[in-house]
Amino acid sequence: MAIVELRFSALPEHVRTARLVAAAVARRAGVAETVLDEVRLAVGEACSRAVGMHRSRADDDRPVTVTLDDGNGRFCIEVNDGVPQPALTEAGVAEGAGLVPDLSANGSGLDLIENEMGLAVILGLVDDLDVRAGAEGGVIRMSWPSGAKSAETVG
């Protein structure tokens, strides 16, 4: 098991760095090449959302923390925005309630799309996803199968 932890000030320019680090560590952990684009996009979305959580808090210098862990046959990414917030209801998160924009309305739906697409993208990309919020900050935890390299070399 190996853990890589990245902490950065909640600034947009650092999100690309987080994407690059996550993709490099995922590749090293044996995550399939075909999945690396999803990892890169999902961690970018989670970090962008975390940076956005700090936007209205100019005096808040708590960093965003990204933890990459390749233990137990899974490659796990946890992004903690460091912004204390009220807890989400578990039922709502499990069903993705309110997280995916409703595109049925032609006009009003566009306002929602413009502002809250990040979690919708993550929900569409990641099968194993956990979103939590609490006094320690909002945490998005995602995981993918790792060790794909050994499977690919068989035969």
Partner 1 sequence: MDLSLSTRTEGGRTIVEVGGEIDVYTAPKLREQLVELVNEGQFHLIVDMEAVDFLDSTGLGVLVGGLKRVRAHEGSLQLVCTQERILKIFRITGLTKVFPIHPSVATAIEASD
Give the footprint of partner 1 on this chain (CB under 8 A).
Answer: 12-13, 15-16, 19, 37, 40-41, 44-45, 47-48, 51-52, 101, 103, 110, 113-115, 117-118, 120-121, 124-125
What is the closest distance, in whole angstroms, from the C-beta atom of residue 65 to partner 1 in the complex? 17
SS3 102: coil
- Identify which of residues 88 and 112 has a Cβ nearer to partner 1 in the complex: 112
Beta-ladder partners of 76: 69, 143
Structure-block tokens of residue 153: 């070399």
Of 52, 77, 82, 58, nearest to 66 (Cα)? 77
Distances (CA, A) of 57 to 61, 80, 114, 129: 9, 16, 21, 27
Provide, rounded to whole angstroms, the least separation between the CB of residue 152 and partner 1. Answer: 20
Cβ closest to partner 1, residue 107 vs residue 155? 107
Q: For residue 112, give every residue at least 6 positions away whose Cβ sits within 8 Å of its Cβ, in sequence order, or none.
A: 101, 102
Q: How far is the CB of 8 from partner 1 (least distance, A)?
A: 12
Q: How many angstroms separate the CA atoms of 25 and 139, rounded?
A: 20
When the beta carbons of 69 and 79 are compared against partner 1, the nearer one is 79
The residue (of 88 and 99) whose beta carbon lies closer to partner 1 is 99
| Minimum CB distance to partner 1 smaller for 44 or for 137 | 44
